[in-house]
């Protein structure tokens, strides 16, 4: 019993010390120019929600921080449950490769140089709806992913969120 308590204390101390943030090279402080802060993440979500309502569609919207961790997530009433994972994976794809998820699409087709890449990194999505988010200096500090409608609608909603960022 004491060993479990000691292990928990060590893990907690490492988290408090910023061990996890330092291992991925990300600032441990949110709100810096190196990471998505909550205010900016929510601004992106709000803009994406507005666009989804304009298009009369139900979306799942995910915003990730610089380390690819979930910062904000919204599932609109009636949005597909299966699209939750797709939205997060579109955002992950955009962040891991610092490009729109659709940019990997052409390269990952059979015979393409990146064929099969979607099976890496715990699952990626190589069609539209994921965009990197950059700070004022152009450095990628997060991403947004959207899923729940056609690829065209997903792209439009994600782009609205990214533009508001």
H/E stretch holding 75: strand 70-75
**Encoding tokens for residue 30?**
């949110």
pLDDT at 29 > cutoff 60: no
Higher pLDDT, 79 or 33: 79
pLDDT at 58 > cutoff 90: yes
**Encoding tokens for residue 162?**
């990214």
Query: What whole-number percentage of the chain has pLDDT above 90?
Result: 79
| pTM to 2 decimal places | 0.80
Query: What is the Cα gyration radius of the chain?
Result: 17
H/E stretch holding 115: none
pLDDT at 8 > cutoff 60: no
First to last CA, the chain: 47
* CATH architecture of the domain covering 31-164: 2-Layer Sandwich (3.30)
Question: What is the pLDDT confidence band of residue 33, given thresholds at 50, 70 and 90?
Answer: confident
Q: How far apart are alpha carbons 164 and 81 in whole angstroms?
A: 26
Residue 37: the pLDDT is: 96
Q: What string of DSSP letters covers 50-74?
A: HHHHHTT---EEEEE-TTS-EEEEE
Residue 11: the pLDDT is: 36
Query: What is the pLDDT of the chain when averaged over all its residues?
Result: 85
Q: Cβ of 13: how many Cβ atoms within 10 Å?
A: 10
Higher pLDDT, 149 or 165: 149
C-alpha torsion 31→35→136→138, nearest 10: 180
In sequence order, the β-bridge partners of residue 61 are 74, 146
Residue 46: the pLDDT is: 98
């Amino acid at each position: 019993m004491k060993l479990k308590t000691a292990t928990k204390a060590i893990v907690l101390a490492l988290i408090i010390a910023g061990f996890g943030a330092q291992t991925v090279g990300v600032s441990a402080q949110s709100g810096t120019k190196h990471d998505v802060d909550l205010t900016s993440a929510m601004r992106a979500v709000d803009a994406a929600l507005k666009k989804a309502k304009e298009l009369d569609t139900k979306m799942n919207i995910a915003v990730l921080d610089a380390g690819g961790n979930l910062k904000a997530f919204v599932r609109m009433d009636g949005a597909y449950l299966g699209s939750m994972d797709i939205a997060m994976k579109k955002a992950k794809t955009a962040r891991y490769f610092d490009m729109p998820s659709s940019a990997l699409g052409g390269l990952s087709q059979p015979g393409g140089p990146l064929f099969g890449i979607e099976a890496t990194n715990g699952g990626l999505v190589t069609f539209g709806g994921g965009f990197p988010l950059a700070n004022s200096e152009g450095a990628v500090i997060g991403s947004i992913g959207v899923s729940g409608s056609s690829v065209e609608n997903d792209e439009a909603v994600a782009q609205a969120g990214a533009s508001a960022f």
